[in-house]
């Protein structure tokens, strides 16, 4: 049996390093990683209910209501009754939110370009298989699959 400690430590360190790099760039845009994720999802999906939005988010904040509240106050999101069903509240991007998404897309493009030499030299497939197996049956894997489906079927660009 293999000792999983090195794998666990490498995984944790890689996650932290990636978050540090992303956070460093997002701070220049004056947003948090969670804000960026909400903005990117809504850019791809269009208006969603709070519950629907939560199905796409891979953040530590359980239910996204407080996150959405903060983003409405910051002017990134609208919260309004759905057309045809006033009981349903939909969350959508404001013009400021759309502008932030465009900035995030530019930032992501730069990060991907910087990572290109590493990615070209290393196959991610074995790591992806390992991670999918590790997450099998978890709610995280279901959210990842939902996001990947969204990326493939979306009419919105996020490159």
Q: pLDDT tens digits, residue range 121-159?
A: 888 899 899 999 989 998 889 989 988 988 787 554 444
Give the per-residue pLDDT at 152: 82
Give the per-residue pLDDT at 86: 84
pLDDT band at 85 (very low <50, low <70, confident <90, very high): confident
Q: What is the mean pLDDT of residues 51-56?
A: 90
pLDDT for residue 114 is more than 50: yes
85 bridge partner residues: 82
pLDDT for residue 84 is more than 90: no
pLDDT band at 62 (very low <50, low <70, confident <90, very high): low
pTM for the predicted model, two decimal places: 0.80
Which pair of structure tokens corresponds to residue 48? Answer: 């969603």
Give the per-residue pLDDT at 77: 98
pLDDT for residue 72 is more than 90: yes
Q: Is 42 exposed, middle or buried (0-12, 13-18, 19+ CB in 10 A)?
A: buried
Helix residue ranges, H only, the chain? 5-28, 33-45, 50-56, 65-73, 95-121, 125-135, 139-153
Q: Cα separation of 157 and 68, whole Å?
A: 23
pLDDT band at 53 (very low <50, low <70, confident <90, very high): very high
Which pair of structure tokens corresponds to residue 10? Answer: 């490498």
């Amino acid at each position: 049996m293999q000792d999983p400690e090195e794998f666990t430590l490498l995984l944790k360190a890689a996650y932290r390093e990636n978050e540090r790099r992303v956070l460093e760039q997002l701070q220049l845009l004056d947003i948090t990683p969670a804000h960026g994720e909400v903005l990117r999802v809504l850019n791809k999906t269009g208006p969603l209910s709070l519950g629907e939005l939560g199905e796409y988010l891979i953040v530590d904040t359980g239910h996204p209501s407080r996150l959405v509240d903060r983003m409405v106050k910051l002017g990134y999101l609208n919260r309004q009754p759905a057309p045809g069903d006033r009981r349903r509240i939909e969350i959508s991007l404001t013009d400021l939110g759309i502008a932030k998404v465009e900035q995030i897309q530019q930032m992501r493009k730069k990060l991907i370009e910087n990572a290109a030499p590493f990615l070209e030299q290393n196959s991610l497939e074995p790591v992806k298989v390992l991670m999918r197996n590790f997450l099998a049956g978890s709610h995280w894997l279901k959210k990842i699959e939902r996001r990947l489906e969204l990326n493939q079927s979306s009419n919105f660009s996020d490159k």
